[in-house]
């Protein structure tokens, strides 16, 4: 009897943990509506599964399942627990497939709380799927209807503390201190052009140095820096290459900068910006001929303009010297 009560309490506590996780994820998605579509695109989900109705409906599905796990009476609980298992298993399959791809992918599982998909993302989703399966196997009514509610609450708190401890000791996988990029080689960024083709920045840099300018929508300083980059590219044509990086769809990027079609790069979900540890927009970086980043982040339109002037003068002077 005691063992059955323990299993029932464990099932209830795991159901509550799954519910809280879904609610947290749904809240993040609702606060950042574009994050779901960006994450789906980054993870390589087929376009027919990235319909806007699916992207917009996902957080509401998570909320419905979470509420059911907490409040559904009797056998209705099993329906919501089965839904939680199916959804968490789908999440696990998606992140596992994204993790084994050669190109890095972005997980926007909690809206604005973005991480690059890796081993810990897969482990986290596997734990969620196991918890949902255990809640379904344990059966019983929703968390708040349970006769063993005090024991279930205690179990929930223990599991929640264990999860928080795991998050605390998990290694940081994006960003480093000091404004330096978390990646050393430009080939690790996985940026794409407006045709959605992955761009090999390392190959481009072999021909001439590359300046990457990271911008975002609704940023007046970014527009100023973008204009400076256009003028600099015209001045240093053939000596260096400029690329404007945006977290936009191809159509939106072209509407904002129709004259820079060949110089636009798309950073889905700001994945590359996070890998570069960018905390302020606009930010610029220089990629040397070896494909590695030659500078830390250069922030703000004034510093970027000064950097472009100095770099342009240096390149032009080197060309003149080589011609003599």
Question: What pLDDT digit, counting tens, does each position of 143-177 carry?
Answer: 565 555 555 455 555 555 455 444 444 444 443 33
pLDDT bucket at 214, cuts 50 / 70 / 90: very high
More confident residue, 279 or 142: 279
Task: Please tell me the distance from the alpha carbon of residue 199 to that of residue 193, in angstroms, as a whole number.
Answer: 6
Whether the per-residue pLDDT at 61 is higher than 90: the answer is yes
Mean pLDDT of all residues in 188-217: 86
- The per-residue pLDDT for 169 is 42
Distance CA 311, CA 233 (A): 11
Q: Give the domain ranges of the chain.
A: 2-169, 177-323
What is the reported pLDDT for 183?
60
> What's the whole-number average pLDDT of the chain?
77
The mean pLDDT value for 82-104 works out to: 84
Q: Supply the DSSP symbol for 194.
A: T
Quick one: tokens of 145? Answer: 């209807």
State the average pLDDT over residues 11-30. Answer: 82
Q: What local confidence, expressed as pLDDT, does residue 176 receive? A: 37
pLDDT score, position 114:
54
For position 2, what pLDDT does the model report? 53
Provide CATH code, domain 177-323. Answer: 3.40.30.10
Extract the tokens encoding 50: 């990235």
Is the whole model's pTM more than 0.75, yes or no? no
pLDDT of residue 139: 72
pLDDT over 70 for what percent of the chain?
76
91-to-16, 37, 123, 204 alpha-carbon distances in Å: 19, 14, 11, 36
Give the pLDDT band of residue 277 (cuts 50, 70, 90).
confident
Residue 148, token pair as written in the block? 């063993």
Q: Is the pLDDT of residue 40 over 80?
A: no
Give the residue among 236, 210, 212 at the shortest CA–CA distance from 288.
210
SS3 readout for 53-107: HHHHHHHHHHHHHHHHHHHCCCCHHHHHHHHHHHHHHHHHHHHHHHHCCCCCCEE
Q: Is the pLDDT of residue 240 over 60?
A: yes
User: Residue 180: pLDDT band by 50, 70, 90 thresholds?
Assistant: very low
Strand order in the sheet with 298-299: 264-266, 241-246, 210-214, 283-287, 298-299
């Amino acid at each position: 009897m005691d063992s059955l009560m323990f299993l029932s309490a464990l099932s209830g506590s795991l159901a509550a943990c799954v519910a809280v996780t879904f609610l947290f994820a749904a809240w993040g998605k609702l606060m950042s509506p574009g994050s779901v579509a960006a994450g789906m695109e980054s993870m390589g989900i087929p376009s027919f599964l990235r319909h806007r109705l699916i992207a917009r409906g996902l957080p509401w599905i998570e909320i419905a399942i979470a509420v059911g796990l907490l409040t559904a009476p009797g056998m209705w609980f099993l329906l919501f627990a089965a839904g939680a298992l199916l959804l968490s298993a789908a999440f696990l399959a998606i992140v596992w497939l994204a993790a084994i791809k050669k190109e890095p992918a972005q997980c926007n599982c909690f809206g604005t709380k973005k991480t690059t998909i890796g081993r810990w993302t897969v482990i986290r989703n596997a734990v969620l799927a196991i918890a949902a399966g255990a809640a379904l196997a344990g059966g019983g009514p929703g968390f708040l209807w349970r006769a063993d509610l005090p024991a279930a609450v205690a179990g929930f708190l223990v599991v929640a503390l264990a999860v928080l401890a795991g998050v605390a000791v998990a290694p940081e996988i994006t960003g480093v201190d000091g404004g330096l990029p978390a990646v050393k080689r430009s080939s690790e960024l996985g940026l794409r052009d407006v045709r959605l083709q992955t761009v090999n920045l390392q190959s481009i840099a072999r021909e001439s140095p590359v300046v990457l300018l990271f911008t975002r929508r609704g940023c007046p300083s970014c527009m100023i820096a973008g204009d400076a980059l256009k003028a600099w590219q015209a001045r240093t044509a053939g000596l260096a290459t400029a690329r404007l990086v945006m977290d936009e769809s191809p159509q939106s990027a072209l509407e904002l900068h129709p004259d820079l079609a060949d110089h636009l790069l798309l950073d889905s979900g700001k994945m590359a910006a996070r890998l570069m540890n960018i905390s302020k927009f606009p930010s610029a970086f220089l990629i040397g001929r070896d494909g590695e980043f030659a500078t830390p982040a250069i922030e703000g339109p004034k510093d970027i303009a000064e950097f472009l002037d100095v770099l342009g003068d240096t390149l032009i002077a080197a060309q003149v010297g080589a011609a003599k």
